[in-house]
Every structure is written in structure tokens, then in C-alpha cells.
Amino acid sequence: MYTSAPLGALVVLVLLFIIGISFADKRRSYVTNSFWSILHAPLPNGKHPPMKKIHRLGFAALLLATVLLSPSTVLAQPSMGLKISPTLIEEKVEPGQVNAYVLRVENPGDTTLHLFTVAKDIVGVGPDGRPIYARAEEENTYRLSSWVTFKEKDLTLGPGESGVVHVTVKIPSDVSPGGHFGSLALTQEGPKDVPIGTGVGFELGAILSLQVAGEVVEDTRFRSFSASQMVYGSPEAHFSVRLENLGNVAARPQGIIDIMNMWGKKVASIPVNEGAAGVFPKSTRDFTAVWTSEDLEFGRYEAFAAFSVPGTKGNPTITATTQFWVLPIKVLYPAAGGLLVFVLILWIMIRFYVGRQLAAHGVGGRRLASRREASGLSRFASVVIALLVAVILGLIILFLYFG
């Protein structure tokens, strides 16, 4: 693809070229006389600028303008893409059954794609939601890649072209009941005759989920449920849920996390896994949720997680709980500081009042004061000091939690 500089930039380029030629040949035309006179104007010290530097600057400006403003050839990066449908094939099958499927493939990019068909076994789903494929040496009870046969071993699609891939799946007669999962994928390998790092390859496939009839085991449990930390400085709690599927069919749990404050009032409900993402047999999957509030929250909170797991035996519910605290620093620090100031002012006022009363009683008051001084700190002073120490310790604990 070719792109040209704007017309204004071309005009500037032509002018700079004329000026450069006039400098080089030392021939001054009517157009360049004004520029020449300006360049030959004496400096403040009375001297004229050296001509060689002017010529060099003129040629440098001309060269820079030629590089930056002249029409340039830009090689556009080819766009690559691939669309496949359907993206999910989910069926209940019988042992010994043979099924046929058709995948429709489209190349929306502007480059020709040479694709290869391949079947892969899926053993789980990663934290990012992407499938985890079985390794070749890994034993897998639910493996179905060996059941798949592609009519087309490869496929070539030009820009904007589409095609079909015919797939046959033969379920073995002695297959174990339950869920079996795989990917019907189309892959592209990068060129082999280019330097390392420049080859481009990608893979796109449809998920094949087959549930073989027989004894179905449905057993989904909580592996863990927790908040990311015990104490939060603001009402923003992050939760992590890990579910484990001990059955032989995929589970699609959906849940809600209810947040209860220390008075037993529900302050929020957070949906989890609204898209019903599956948990594969004999595997675990993590889900996350976040609770935030614009209100002033304070104290201990309890989170109740309840997940419904649809299956052949209804929708059993599994539950778990966790606790956390919200101690807003922006509120606690001013409150603690205000309490400290209040206690100090109260202490000073009481001492001032007691001193005036003692002075009013004359000698007896002085004797009473001397006895109190001799006996050490007063009871009130001890209480004040203990309160101050408690406030300071509380601030230190908060600093250790949130600092």
C-alpha cells in the first residue's frame, strides 16, 4: 500500500529544494533574494555568518525535508483472521453411535491461509478460561481424539473465502459413561524458511462435548472460598472460589455471594459464573467476584456463597462461608485523633478545676494536694494514661495491617 504526503508538505518540499539549489549554485533568483539577504545579514557583532555553514544547513534542511515530507512507500501489515461455526457441539450419545458434523470456516483477512485439521483432548480449563489440552503421554479416561476422523486433512482459503470441514465421530462400544471433551481445531504453521520469530501461526477450533449414556456421577464441591485479605481499609473485597468436580460429567455451577454485616443485615448480593462456565470431570476451576460499596461500611462482615449445580438429579446447592473486616482508615485516624484531643482537653480542665478547689481550701487543700503528690499518680491520671496507650496501640495495629 502506498501513501503520499499532503499537498502542503509537497509545496514546502519544492520551496526548500529551490532554496537549496540557489545556495549551492550561488545564483540568486527573484524568489530567493529575500531569503539570501536575510541569511547574509550581519550578526550583532558586525560579522557575517560563514557561507559554508549556510550551505551545509541548507542541504541538511533539504535532506531532512526530503526524508520526512516526501512520498514514502509503507508496507501495510497483512491482516489475518479465521471464523468457525459452530463453536460448541454438545450432545448426549450412546456407545457405538456414529455422528457426523460439519464445520463452516471463513477467512475474513486479506491473506491466503493454508490450514490443517487436528483433534485434541481437553482435560480442563485454565484460570484464564482457555482449555487445557492433554499431553500425548498423559493417560486420559475421557479422551476422544481417537474417535474423530476428518474428511479434509487440510484446507486452503483465499481472502474472503469460506469452506467446510466434514467430521465423523465414532463412539467406541466399550467407552466409559460420562463426559468426554475435545477440540476440533484448524491450525496454521508459520513458514519454515524464514528467520526464527517471524513465522506466524494460530489455532482455532470448536469444542466437542459428548456425554455418553450410562451411570452418571455428579459430585461438585467447594475446594476453597476466601477473601483476598482479612482486613480491608475500604469497602472493596475480592473473593476467590475454587470448585472441584469429582463426577464423570461436566458441571455448570452458578452462584451468588451474599454479604452480611455484623448486625445480620444483607448489604449486597454478587452473582458468580453467570455464563455457566463448565467444570470438567476430575478437575478444579477458579471463579472470582468483587464487592464494592459507596456507603460507609465498618466492622465484621460474613460472606455466604451458594452455588446451584444443575444435573440429572435436579439442582443441588452447595454452600460455603468466609469472614472479613472493613476498617476504613480515613475514618479511624481522624476519630482516634479527635478522641485523643478530647481526652487531653478533659484532663487539663479537670486538673485546672481541682487546682482551683485546692487553692480555695487554703492550708487543708495544700495538705491534701501534698498527700496526693506524695502518693504518686491520681486515679484519673492513670485512667487517662491507660486510654492514651490503648489509642496508640490501636493506631500501631492499624498501621501494621494497612501500612
Establish whether domains 83-212 and 220-327 are of one fold: yes
Tell me, what's the pLDDT at 345? 78
pLDDT of 26: 47
- In this predicted structure, what is the pLDDT of residue 289? 95
Q: In what order do the strands lie in the sheet with 266-272?
A: 231-232, 317-326, 299-308, 254-260, 266-272
Evaluate if residue 177 carries a pLDDT over 60.
yes
Position 130 scores a pLDDT of: 80
Task: Quote the pLDDT of residue 147.
Answer: 92
pLDDT of 149 strictly over 80: yes
pLDDT > 90: what percent of the chain? 32
Work out the average pLDDT over 53-65.
47
Q: Which amino acid is at 224?
A: S
List, as own/partner pairs, every contact residues 18-23 make where C-beta atoms lie below 8 angstroms and the sequence separation is at least 24, other chains included: 19/58, 19/62, 20/58, 20/59, 20/61, 20/62, 23/54, 23/55, 23/58, 23/59
For residue 292, the model assigns a pLDDT of 93
pLDDT of the residue at 61: 46
Q: Is the peptide bond before 131 cis (omega within 30 degrees of 0)?
A: no
pLDDT value at residue 369: 52
Q: CB burial class (10 A; 0-12, 13-18, 19+) of residue 343? A: middle
Helices 379-402/329-360 angle, 10° precision: 170
- In this model, does residue 328 exceed pLDDT 50? yes
- 309 pLDDT band (50/70/90 cuts)? very high
The more confident residue out of 193 and 15 is 15
Is it the case that residue 109 has pLDDT exceeding 50?
Answer: yes
Average pLDDT over residues 113-136: 82
Q: Which of 77-81, 168-172, 234-238 has the lowest mean pLDDT?
A: 77-81
Q: Tell me what pLDDT residue 65 has.
A: 45
Identify the three-state secondary structure at position 330: helix
pLDDT, greater one: 160 or 126: 160
Ranges 120-124, 266-270, 343-347, 366-370: which has the least confidence: 366-370
Q: What is the rounded average pLDDT for all residues in the chain?
A: 74
229-239 mean pLDDT: 91
pLDDT tens sequence across 2-58: 444 444 555 555 555 555 555 444 444 444 454 445 445 554 555 555 554 444 545
As beta bridge partners, residue 157 has: 113
Instruction: Indicate the pTM of the whole model.
Output: 0.55
* Contact present, 112 and 156 (Cβ < 8 Å): yes
The CA distance from 129 to 365, in Å, is: 81
Distance between CA atoms of residues 87 and 389, nearest Å: 65
Q: If pLDDT is split at 50, 70 and 90, which confidence band does 296 have?
A: confident
Closest by CA position to 277, among listed 309, 252, 311:
252
Provide, rounded to the nearest whole percent, the portion of the chain with pLDDT above 70: 61
Mean pLDDT of 186-194: 57
Higher pLDDT, 335 or 231: 231
Residue 161 burial by Cβ neighbours in a 10 Å radius (0-12, 13-18, 19+): middle
SS3 state of residue 81: coil
388 against 378, higher pLDDT = 388
For the chain, which residues make up each domain, given as ranges?
2-73, 83-212, 220-327, 330-402
339-347: Cβ within 8 A, 24+ apart: 339/391, 340/388, 340/391, 343/384, 343/387, 343/388, 347/380, 347/381, 347/384
Rounded Cα gap, residues 117 and 186, in angstroms: 5
Q: Which residue has the higher pLDDT, 33 or 321?
A: 321
Identify the pLDDT of residue 131: 80
Cell of 67: 526524508
Q: What is the distance between the alpha carbons of residues 309 and 77, in angstroms, rounded to a whole number?
A: 47
CATH H superfamily, domain 83-212: Immunoglobulins (2.60.40.10)
| Cβ neighbour number for residue 107 with a 10 Å cutoff | 22
**pLDDT, greater one: 346 or 299:** 299
CATH superfamily of 220-327: Immunoglobulins (2.60.40.10)
Q: What is the structure's pLDDT at 331?
A: 61
The confidence band for 79, taking pLDDT boundaries of 50, 70 and 90, is: low
- The x, y and z cell numbers of residue 322, run together, are 468466609
Residue 60 pLDDT more than 60? Answer: no
Q: What is the DSSP letter of 5?
A: -
Four-CA torsion 39, 40, 41, 42, nearest 10 degrees: 120
Q: What is the pLDDT of residue 15?
A: 52
Residue 178 near residue 247, CB atoms below 8 Å = yes
